[in-house]
Amino acid sequence: MIAQKLFGTTKNGRDVTAYTLTGAGGLVMEVLDWGGRVNRIVYPDGKDVVIGFDSTAGWEDGDPYYGCLIGRYANRIANGKFSLDGKDYVLACNNFPAGIGCALHGSDGGWHDRIWKAEPFEKGTDVGLVLSLVSPDGEGGFPGEVAVKVTYTLTAGNVWRVDYEAESNAATPFAMTQHVYFNFKGEAGGTVEDHELAVCASSYAPCDAGQIPRKIAPVAATPFDFTAPHLVGERIDADDEVLKFGKGYDHCWVIDGAGFRKAAELKGAGKKLEVWTSEPAVQIYTGNWIPDGYPAKGADKLSCRCGIALETGKIPDAPNNPAFPNAILRPGERFSSTTEFRFA
C-alpha cells in the first residue's frame, strides 16, 4: 500500500511530498521527494528506528543529510579539487575537519537538496518509489550532464532494496549513497554505543586530520576490526590517532570479496539489520557531531551518537587517488549498483 501527502514547504518555497510505503511484511517507510529522504522506518512492533523530522525545518536548520540520497559524489574530495583527463576542476569547500577544507557530499550542488521526480509503484507484493533527476553540466562544479534513477523497493520479506542507475555525457566523478541513520531503540533512545556491529572487511582506509584517506590498511590490531562483532562503543574512544580524527567512527571500510555480498550487520534492542551491496566500500559514521538536544520527530530530542549510518559506495577522494577503485563515470557507460537493508 502507498499513500502520499504534502509534507511541507522548504524555505525557498518548494513543496515537499511524503510517500508512505507499507510492505506486506509489516515494515513501513516514509520517503520524501526532497532529496529522497527516508524519514521513518517503522518495524511491525511500531518502533521507528531512523532519525528524521516532522517538518522541513529540521533539515534546513541542522544537519541536511539525515536519510538523504547523496550525489554527485558521496563523501569527501580533498581541498575541493580534482583533475580529470588533463583538466583541473574546483568545487566549493563546504566541510572543514580540523580546519582543512574539502568538498563533502556533492558540495554546493548536492542532490540531497533537489526535488526528485517520484513515481510510486506496486508490483506483486513489492511496493516502492522510483526517484529520478537530471543533474546539469557544471552543477556543483562537476563536469557532464548526469541522468540518475534510484529505485526504493520494500519487499514482503522486510527488505529495503536501493537500486542506483546513472549515465553521463562526459567523464565525471560519481559515487552515490543513502545516508539514513539507524537506532534500534528509537531516535531519542540514547546513543548507539550499545549496538553490536560486524563489518565484513579485513581492511579500511585510514584518514588524515582532514578526514581524507591516503591508503588502504589492515584492520587487524586496530579499533576498526569488526570482523568479529563488537559493541559500537567498546573502542570508540580508544587512544588511536586515526579514530580521534573522526571524533569516533567516521571512516571507510573496504568490503571483502566482490559482486553482491554482505557488508555489515547491526544488532540492538532485539532487532537486526544486514546490509548487502555490490559496492566496494562502506562508510560508517556514528553521529559524532550530532548535537545534544536537537529536536527530532514527535518533540523527541537527539543526542550525540544517537544514530549510525552505513553508507555503501566508493572510497572518499578516489578521484585524487588512482590506487583506489575507480569512481569515474564515462560516456557510454551505465552505472548500476544495488544495496539492500535486510531487517529482522
- In angstroms, the CA 214 to CA 33 distance is 35
**Is the distance from CB of 19 to CB of 3 less than 8 angstroms?**
yes
In 3D, which of 206, 231, 200 has the Cα closest to residue 218? 206
φ, ψ of residue 81 to 5 degrees: the values are -140, 150
Strand-strand pairing, 250-254 and 281-285: antiparallel
Maximum C-alpha span of the chain: 55
Active site residue 30: no
From residue 261, give the alpha-carbon distance in Å to each of 54, 218, 220, 338.
35, 20, 21, 10
Taking the alpha carbons at both ends of the chain, their separation in whole angstroms is 20
Contacts of 101 (CB under 8 A, 6+ apart): 79, 80, 93, 95, 210
SS3 label, residue 269:
coil
274 is catalytic: no
Contact call for residues 340 and 272 (beta carbons, < 8 A): no
Residue 253 burial (CB count, 10 A): 26
Q: How many CB atoms lie within 10 A of CB 140?
A: 20
Q: How is residue 8 written as a grid cell?
A: 511541507
- Active-site residue, selected from the candidate residues 105, 112, 179, 195: 179
Would you say the C-alpha torsion 110, 113, 114, 118 has a positive or negative sign? Answer: positive
Closest CA to 246 of 305, 164, 300, 313: 305
Question: Active-site residue numbers?
Answer: 179, 311
